[in-house]
């Protein structure tokens, strides 16, 4: 089941926030922690915003809030499961019906399941690969013809620092984010002579529902720095507008990525020292 709804455009009152209508954007995972914060950032810079997610009621509430806050913005929302091709095709038809086209796709939907590799059920593995890797690839492929029609457009794949560093308890998640980063790099190079830019956005640990429970406790014990969704989302627009292909958020995470690429043994030793603590939360 899926549903598409349009939010009417209103005339802006004098006290409305300043609005720079640059983007005609599609955002997946719009009602999650980072997604909701990104929706607010995008709304301030967009003329049209299409919100995607599983929960129709939450999408409708978010669209209504954004319409009130940004009266000149046209918001629509389409609820469904991105792992289903029928829903993806509905998203495509909805974007085609906008009339204005789209010039920004932010693939933000994601999932994780922390724990030992051998305890991951086949169903969990399949879900993580589908949500984190296959769905963003398929949605990008579907929307590329629309994006190519624009003078300039951008695809942002929301990955993770774990798309650079393999970490215990996150083997499948890391695999999907490594894969998404590889896809982004290859597609960026394939489209280098087109109007479409492809970027990889990599937050570090963030205070969201995806990191609840054991992961929160593990991060606290290891003194891992965590960002708020708002601190992550505020970096999205500057990144889109920059010439950077990838954005790694946080220090010392950037250092760990550098070491992992050039001297992986250094990270191997450091993570091995953390392993008893990590396994305590399996």
Q: Enumerate domains of the chain plus CATH numbers.
A: 3-280 (3.40.50.720)
- Can you say whether the dihedral through the CA atoms of 167, 169, 171, 172 is positive or negative? negative
Alpha helices in the chain (DSSP H): 33-43, 56-69, 85-96, 122-129, 135-148, 171-190, 214-221, 229-233, 236-241, 253-262, 264-280
At 99, the pLDDT band (50, 70, 90 cuts) reads confident
241 vs 10: which has the higher pLDDT: 241
Q: How far is the C-alpha of 180 from the C-alpha of 159, rounded, in Å?
A: 7
pLDDT at 209: 74
Rounded mean pLDDT of the chain?
Answer: 92
Placement of tokens 């597609």 in the chain: 187
Nearest CA to 177 out of 191, 157, 199 is that of 157
Assess contact for 73 and 52: CB atoms under 8 A.
Answer: no
Average pLDDT over every residue of 177-194:
98
pLDDT at 15: 40
pLDDT at 7: 54
Placement of tokens 């620092």 in the chain: 161
Give the helix/strand (H/E) hosting 47: strand 46-53
Asked whether residue 44 carries a pLDDT value surpassing 80, the answer given is yes
At 13, the pLDDT band (50, 70, 90 cuts) reads very low
What residues have CB less than 8 Å from 98, skipping those under 6 apart? 24, 48, 50, 76
pLDDT at 11: 38
Nearest CA to 115 out of 167, 162, 169 is that of 169
- Can you say whether the dihedral through the CA atoms of 266, 267, 268, 274 is positive or negative? positive
pTM of the model: 0.91
Write out pLDDT tens, residues 225-282.
899 999 999 999 999 999 999 999 999 999 999 999 999 999 999 999 999 999 999 9
- What's the Cα-to-Cα distance from 43 to each of 88, 115, 153, 234, 261, rounded to whole Å? 22, 36, 17, 12, 36
At 213, the pLDDT band (50, 70, 90 cuts) reads confident
CB-facing half-sphere around the CA of 15: CA atoms within 13 A: 2
Assess contact for 51 and 7: CB atoms under 8 A.
Answer: no
Q: How far is the C-alpha of 191 from the C-alpha of 203, rounded, in Å?
A: 24
């Amino acid at each position: 089941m899926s549903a598409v709804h349009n939010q009417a455009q209103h005339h802006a009152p004098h006290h409305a926030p300043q609005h720079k209508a640059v983007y005609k954007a599609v955002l997946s995972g719009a009602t999650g922690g980072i997604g909701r914060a990104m929706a607010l950032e995008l709304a301030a810079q967009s003329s049209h915003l299409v919100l995607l997610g599983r929960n129709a009621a939450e999408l409708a509430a978010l669209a209504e809030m954004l319409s009130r806050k940004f009266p000149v913005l046209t918001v629509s929302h389409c609820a469904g499961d991105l792992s289903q091709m029928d829903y993806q095709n509905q998203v495509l038809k909805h974007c085609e019906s906008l009339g204005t086209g789209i010039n920004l796709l932010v693939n933000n939907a994601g999932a994780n399941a922390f724990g030992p590799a051998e305890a991951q059920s086949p169903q969990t593995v399949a879900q993580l690969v589908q949500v984190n890797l296959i769905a963003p690839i398929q949605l990008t492929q579907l929307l590329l013809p629309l994006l190519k029609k624009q003078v300039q457009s951008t695809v942002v794949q929301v990955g993770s620092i774990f798309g650079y560093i393999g970490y215990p308890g996150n083997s499948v998640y890391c695999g999907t984010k490594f894969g998404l980063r590889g896809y982004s790099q290859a597609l960026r190079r394939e489209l280098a002579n087109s109007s479409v830019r492809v970027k990889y956005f990599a937050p570090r640990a963030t205070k969201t529902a995806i990191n609840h429970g054991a992961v929160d406790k593990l991060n606290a014990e290891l003194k891992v720095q965590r960002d708020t969704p708002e601190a992550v989302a505020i970096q999205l627009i500057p990144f889109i507008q920059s010439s950077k292909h990838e954005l790694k958020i946080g220090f010392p995470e950037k250092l760990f990525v550098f070491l992992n690429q050039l001297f992986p043994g250094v990270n191997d030793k450091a993570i091995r020292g953390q392993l008893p603590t990590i396994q305590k939360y399996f």
